[in-house]
Structure 1
Amino acid sequence: MTEDGHTAQIRRTEYGIPHILAGDFDGLGYGYGYAFAQDNVCELADQIVTLRGERSRFFGPDGDSGEGVNLASDTYYRGQLRAGTVQRLLDRKAPLGPTPEVRRMVEGYAAGYNRYLRDTGVDKLPDPRCKGKPWVRPVTALDLWSIVYDLNGATGAVPLAPDIGDAKPPTAGQATPASATSGLKTAASLGAGGQGPAADDFGSNGWALGKDATRSGHAMVLANPHLPWVGGNFRFYQVQLTIPGTLDVSGAGLYGTPLVLIGHNRDVAWTHTASDAQHASFYALKLAPGDPTSYVVDGRTEKMQRRTVPITVRDKNGSPATVDRTLYTSRFGPVLSTGWTTKTAYAVRDANADNLRSMNEWLAMGKAHNLRQLRTAQDTYQGIPWTYTLAADTSGSTYFTDSSVVPHLTDAQLKRCTLPGSEDAPTALDGSTTACDWGNDPDALVPGIYGPSHQPKLSRTDYVANSNNGPQYTNPEAPLTGFPGTYDIEPRLSQRPQLGLRMIAERLDGTDGLGTPGFTQHTLRESMTGNRVLSAETGRDDVVDMCRAHPRLTTTDGKEIDVQQACATLARWDTRADTDSRGAALWVTFFDHLQGAGPPDTWRRVPYDPAQPLTTPRGIKGDDVRVQHALADAVQDFAARDVPVDVELGAVQKWAGIPLPGCTGDKGCFNVVEAGPDAGTGTPTAGAFGSSFVMAVELTPDGPRTHTVLTYGQSANPASPHYTDQTRLFSRKQWVTERFTEAEITGDPALKVTTLHR
């Protein structure tokens, strides 16, 4: 309770950003849950329907992405509930289980959300998408912990949930069950590049700039996570959480998580980017002859475990019926539908299968007063699920680590145990021998993962940076080496991390056109919103030379196309992906065609050279017929859509009618944005991906100076004033000046205060 007897205050400043003030963790969670429900009640309600395994009950067995997808998803999640997986983890004491403070936050958050439902009434909710719907119900602390558990498994079992829920052994004479080809996202598509699921839907840029990289000598952090804009699972919500004398942290958390996951306090700032490490492993099971539900390990037969779960399904007439479904589990983890034949089956072992520790760690990071305390928090809980951490403190130092939960697999094991994949099955480890099991580290908190002594780490006073590349080039002046290979699946730098490192280097020597060398708050923000496109910077002139020499080109299907106007458009283009850039949309389309024409090194003028990892590959071979076809195909695409080739990028890339800058990372865009002309309009297929919560913070002796923009706003409700208010800022390269201190918060002319009593 706070001094005047109320439980919590919700103080909203510009753009609806809530600053929650309470006297204890119960009240802090209570205020946060209430505030979040005001903005996003439908999203959380929908998440809970999924996690309770009730999508078939309310929406029928089929989903938008395929026949039976809701039923398969429900099977997975009902199985989790039947097994008591999350509850079993909650029964542990800290550090393995949640700390008392985090438990109270979660319980308070659930109570605050439920208070909002009581106060408002489901039939009077302001969001028409769930107003009066029977699936909007009170939540429990277990529901919220299930969200945390689901988030932690986002690069492991969770993306395979429909595949796990649909797994069935083959029948006699059937090589592969029909369920494996039902159109679900298969393990094979998720396993590219490694022995486990890939994090294709996640990305980020993160910079921590030390005193030697800034003109003021103050450390700075740039946070730029790239996540989906649609759906509640991975949208950010901006908040400040304050218990006087105990906690004062500002930033953003993912929907349903009652903490700040990316942010800062007075002394420390941090961000995360998706780690290149493997966080789960596929295992190939050698099945016992004549029994596709038994497998052999070290010559001994083991029976798969079966769990039957009843699923309530709404039929075509709206009537409920119960369907019994069976889940299959091996010693490695759940069995997949993909690739299950009479001889082989595949299972996924998720390193985060026992992880609720992440919440302990994020709370401790939010309390840290320096990088030493932040590192202690990470070493104590070892719960960051699948991201790198980049951080800085008021001393002017920076820190990078992959402290995520990574399977203990040696390089020798990976070489010896990896079995090749195919179109119908993932690359996997040999499950027929315990020699391919995960090992243990003496300093690891739980079995099977690497401990802090093996994790890549780097401390610098100039900078550390990452754009989802491996750890090696965190700072090219001090390459990281000597860590296990499972931390660095693809050491080769792609376009976006190359551009990020180039942007830092050019700012430090003053060659980027932004003035005197060294970062300031202004030039940090200018760098972020510069919308540079590396593929165009290094290849546009080659393409212009080609099309000037060949004003008529042939498409892939043999049609001759006049490309003179397209050529002139590219020649005039400034190689930026700004909303008003004319040429960016054409370049994006051209480059998509080019990437589909063959491996990049075959059409690059200078192919990849391991001795020049920061600057190769580059250029484009103008005399390559595939390059010529790609430009002709792009022009043909524009004509087919009746769109001029010099259309402004913002005319064809929008969110709810608002022009968006940026492009995808494979083009070499730092500010990643992917959207269509109708994104955000509410249609089922509409959506966007990319820059979400953007934060530029400077840690000064007088306190943090921070600018942010939440690209899709605080609310997912299209009727809310905070649905697109920050999208318009993002479109115009504008930022929100953060209000962190009491004076800044109370001095806001737009301040609105809600006082909650329990």
Structure 2
Amino acid sequence: MISTCVRRLAAPLAAALTASLLVAAPAPARAAEGRYAADIRRTEYGIPHISAKDHGGLGYGYGYAFAEDNLCVMASWALTLRGERSRHFGAEAMSDDAVDPVSNLASDVYHKSVHASGVLRRVLARPAPHGPGAEVRALVDGYVAGFNRYLSETGVAGLPDPACRGKDWVGPITATDVWMNLLDLGRLAGSSSFKEAIAASGQEEEETKQPDRKKKVSAPGSNAYALGREATRGGHGMLLADPHFPWNGSRRFYQVHLTIPGVLDVSGGSLYGTPMVQIGHNASVAWTHTVSHAQRFTLYRLKLVPGRRTTYLVDGRPEPMGRQEVSVTVRDAWGATNTVTTTLYTSRYGPVLATGWTEGTAIALADVNAANLRFADEWLAIGAARDLAGLRRAQDTYQGMPFVYTLAADAGGETYFADASVVPHVTDEQADRCRAGDDPETLILDGSTSACLWGEDADAIEPGVFGPAAQPRLARADYVTNANADPWLTNPEAPLTDYPRIFGDTRTQRDLRTRVGLDMIAQRLSGDDGLGAPGFTLDTLQRTATGKRNLSAELLRPDLRALCRAKPVMTASDGEKVDVRRACATLTAWDGRARLDSRGAILWREFFLGLHRPRRRPDGGVIPPRSWWKVPFDPEHPLTTPRGLDLANPVVPAALADAVRFFRANDLPLTLTPGQAQWYGAVPVPGCTEAEGCFDRIRARGALGEEGRYEDVDTGSSFLMAVELTPSGPRARTVLTYSLSADSTSPHHADQTELFSRGRWVTGRFTEAEIRAYPGLTTVSLR
């Protein structure tokens, strides 16, 4: 039983944890005399514009610039990818994985098992498009050389960032580190979510446990609009990118502009440690991604041979599991080190998990992205595309997107949506025939028959995945959009329905973030949003995206007001009577937004989230919450249902009474604002949660504290980019919500965070004239 969160953010590892050992990591790349050359120019907020004559030089400049801003993050992450955290920080401390942190020992065992499997060596040995092409390899080698040059020039003792200055764990990186980072990125929605279950597969104390459905991960998400000529005032293509990735650690975006004259000119966001732009624009194409609902792995239930715990049956014939001996160096509390050796097990499908292993059965993980690096070449090719036809050719050539939808627009005013990602080839018929588990949220197939192996498509780049012809795709001249829902209502005027279930559902309830995003488009196209004449401009796109609407309040507040008038005193969940009149007055006066100064927004959040909490019975039992919607979901009206509050449901008054009592018990003002309650470091942060129906959502860790503060924001809108593709060139506005540098001493550690807090954006500089016009321009030439 695997959690919905893991399934939805499900992407890669698996079918490659077999046992050939990887040779020792190569020595750090060094720049030969005259081999690399690059110019790094920085404009406002430290944004680097890197130019070079070839891909090696471009990577060299990029690696150097990134190290200037974020060397400590990459140095720590390199230890993680090598499986060396326990050596430096102890086995019990938590890893630095921003999406799914686990103990250092579990992290080290997992990552060393990936190295030992030989998967990276095998992928790098393959020619393009199955393995990396020459340009991507040159980018990686140059990136490593540039990063290491900065470290060599500065020295570990001279690093400006106190987070790793003088630390013995800081050192040069290798090309293997960068490739492993890319491989791990591809597995983000799959194997990486099973690190603990993979690392513990040989531990017998795990035998009786089932896969944990309550596992929590900091799941990335995103919003995206691709707007065509029929939706924009100027008749140009436009794009909104709003990825929701972690605000800390190695999964942050770095803003960069990369240029090889006549070959590549692309600007946008690039995840830490990756030398290519993942979300961005060039002169005539803009694209972004949102996390796809397609499944990235399947589990296989193995039928074990009686009395032989590590042998399973396929088509009636016994197959022994493969064994991996993984050794990790561990530092104890006194500084001494010792070696811990763990035995892991693999199957023809992939690694065998510790969870779900009994005397008769075991569970194996088959990860469709276990050996996928094709997305690196695909992103590089997308960045060079001149129109949507070129973008589609790039996707059809490499077929490597690991776990994301693609939304794009071009200067001709066309738009495009596709789930061009890597998806296991499991047809609906095969899923029904081979299903071996009764959990509807997790696809567990029968591993005792080869008839349940993944299928093949003639147009697929490799066996076991769906080819382009099966993928949900839509091209429009008005718009396509996605907010992590399945493809069904990419554009409600042209619902997508003809795709296998493994890609996602149809005619199911949309979450509130999806609904508010579609409503924002509808209101802008009709002109009913108060922003002027119908149709998008760059200004109205920005204002729409950051309007801080709270759809739950819009749908439920009228009924709550009626309840307040009827019941000024409400019963809390433990039976206490609570006077809610002042709270009702506060919520009535609230502007319904999640701006910094929105008085009552936090009270609403605590009430709304309280509707979802299980209640305790007097005998200590739990009463699961039942639906409190007045009008249930109707697939014929998916954009307007469910709606309204069922005032007869006792959960509704109890949720408000509980929230009011918490505020009073802690002397918190009922008018508590987002600017008072949620912060990132020293900067107050506007916005509200996905559950409430906020578009550019944020998430602060933990519950509201007694002092009226949440823990720091850790996930949400990260790299906002609005682009208009005009005949005279792109016009872009961006904001990197957590700023360019993780170094607390850097002037660019929180400067864009302060912009985001105030609702402001950075005007993009793309052309040579725009870059040179910046009065504070600085240039570093590397040779």
The TM tier, using the shorter chain, reads: over 0.9
1:632 aligns with 2:653: no
Structure 1 residues 731 and 543, CA gap change in structure 2 (3 angstroms) = same
Cα distance, 1:751 vs structure 2: 1.0
Counterpart residue number, 1:105? 139
- After superposition, give the CA deviation of every residue in 1:613-642 in whole Å (9 maximum; x if it has no partner): 111001112232110101111112223433
Q: CA separation in 1, counterparts of 2:101 and 2:767?
A: 52
Counterpart residue number, 1:588? 605
Q: 1:441-520 alignment to 2 at 5 Å?
A: 441-489=457-505, 491-520=508-537
1:230–1:687 Cα contact (<8 Å) kept: no
Q: CA separation in 1, counterparts of 2:51 and 2:568?
A: 65
**Which residue identity is paired with 2:104?**
N
**Which residue identity is paired with 2:51?**
L
**Which residue identity is paired with 1:58?**
H
**Which residue identity is paired with 2:187?**
G
What SS does the aligned partner of 1:389 have?
strand
- The correspondence for 1:727, drawn from 722, 741, 753, is 753
Unaligned regions of 5+ residues in structure 1, if any? 181-185, 191-197
2:207–2:355 Cα contact (<8 Å) kept: no
Counterpart residue number, 2:628? 603
- The correspondence for 1:428, drawn from 444, 452, 477, is 444
Counterpart residue number, 1:161? 195
Counterpart residue number, 2:21? none
Q: 1:166-205 alignment to 2 at 5 Å?
A: 166-168=200-202, 170=204, 176=208, 187-189=212-214, 201-205=219-223
- After superposition, give the CA deviation of every residue in 1:142-195 in whole Å (9 maximum; x if it has no partner): 110100000000011012112211222537xx8527xx8xxxxx65336xxxxx
2:94–2:102 Cα contact (<8 Å) kept: no
Cα distance, 1:436 vs structure 2: 1.9
- The correspondence for 1:255, drawn from 272, 284, 287, is 272
Cα distance, 1:541 vs structure 2: 1.4
Q: CA separation in 2, counterparts of 1:444 and 1:481?
A: 21
1:330 aligns with 2:362: no
Counterpart residue number, 1:146? 180
Cα distance, 1:648 vs structure 2: 1.2
1:556 aligns with 2:588: no
1:705 aligns with 2:731: yes
Structure 1 residues 482 and 627, CA gap change in structure 2 (3 angstroms) = same
Counterpart residue number, 1:743? 769
Counterpart residue number, 2:3? none
Counterpart residue number, 2:14? none
1:227 aligns with 2:227: no
Cα distance, 1:717 vs structure 2: 1.5
Q: CA separation in 2, counterparts of 1:298 and 1:575?
A: 60
1:169–1:293 Cα contact (<8 Å) kept: no
Structure 1 residues 421 and 164, CA gap change in structure 2 (3 angstroms) = farther
Counterpart residue number, 2:74? 44
1:131 aligns with 2:149: no
Counterpart residue number, 1:195? none
- After superposition, give the CA deviation of every residue in 1:275-331 in whole Å (9 maximum; x if it has no partner): 011011112222221122122222222111001021111122111111111111111
**Which residue identity is paired with 1:702?**
S
Counterpart residue number, 1:183? none
Higher mean displacement: 593-602 or 649-658: 593-602
Counterpart residue number, 1:78? 112
Counterpart residue number, 2:617? none
1:398–1:463 Cα contact (<8 Å) kept: yes
Q: CA separation in 2, counterparts of 1:685 and 1:576?
A: 21
What SS does the aligned partner of 2:382 have?
helix
Q: CA separation in 1, counterparts of 2:223 and 2:102?
A: 36
- The correspondence for 2:690, drawn from 665, 668, 671, is 665
1:210–1:462 Cα contact (<8 Å) kept: yes
Q: CA separation in 2, counterparts of 1:394 and 1:600?
A: 49
What SS does the aligned partner of 2:586 have?
helix
- After superposition, give the CA deviation of every residue in 1:60-119 in whole Å (9 maximum; x if it has no partner): 111238998211111111111122211210111100011100100000000000001000
Counterpart residue number, 1:281? 298
- The correspondence for 1:641, drawn from 651, 666, 673, is 666
Cα distance, 1:657 vs structure 2: 2.4
Counterpart residue number, 2:9? none
- After superposition, give the CA deviation of every residue in 1:509-540 in whole Å (9 maximum; x if it has no partner): 11111110000001000001101111111111
Between the aligned residues of both structures, percent identity stands at 54
Q: CA separation in 2, counterparts of 1:408 and 1:599?
A: 37
Q: CA separation in 2, counterparts of 1:742 and 1:600?
A: 58
Cα distance, 1:429 vs structure 2: 1.8
Counterpart residue number, 2:618? none
What SS does the aligned partner of 2:630 have?
coil
Counterpart residue number, 2:47? 17
Higher mean displacement: 411-420 or 507-516: 411-420
Counterpart residue number, 1:93? 127
Q: CA separation in 1, counterparts of 2:67 and 2:289?
A: 26
Unaligned regions of 5+ residues in structure 2, if any? 1-30, 615-622
Q: TM-score, normalised by structure 2?
A: 0.91
Q: CA separation in 2, counterparts of 1:123 and 1:660?
A: 34
Counterpart residue number, 1:395? 412
What SS does the aligned partner of 1:496 have?
helix
What SS does the aligned partner of 2:243 have?
strand
- The correspondence for 2:60, drawn from 23, 26, 30, is 30
Structure 1 residues 684 and 34, CA gap change in structure 2 (3 angstroms) = farther
**Which residue identity is paired with 2:517?**
G
Cα distance, 1:31 vs structure 2: 0.3
**Which residue identity is paired with 2:296?**
H
What SS does the aligned partner of 1:308 have?
strand
Q: CA separation in 2, counterparts of 1:599 and 1:436?
A: 37
- After superposition, give the CA deviation of every residue in 1:215-260 in whole Å (9 maximum; x if it has no partner): 100110000000111211x100000000111100000110000000
Structure 1 residues 226 and 94, CA gap change in structure 2 (3 angstroms) = same
Counterpart residue number, 1:414? 431
Q: TM-score, normalised by structure 1?
A: 0.94
Higher mean displacement: 466-475 or 295-304: 295-304
1:340–1:346 Cα contact (<8 Å) kept: yes
1:341 aligns with 2:341: no
What SS does the aligned partner of 2:267 have?
strand
Counterpart residue number, 1:374? 391
Cα distance, 1:336 vs structure 2: 1.3
- After superposition, give the CA deviation of every residue in 1:330-358 in whole Å (9 maximum; x if it has no partner): 11111111122212221111110120111
**Which residue identity is paired with 1:162?**
E
What SS does the aligned partner of 1:207 have?
strand
**Which residue identity is paired with 2:686?**
P
Cα distance, 1:719 vs structure 2: 1.8
- The correspondence for 2:233, drawn from 215, 228, 231, is 215
- The correspondence for 1:56, drawn from 86, 99, 102, is 86
1:353 aligns with 2:353: no
What SS does the aligned partner of 2:184 have?
helix
Q: CA separation in 2, counterparts of 1:115 and 1:270?
A: 32
Higher mean displacement: 598-607 or 547-556: 598-607
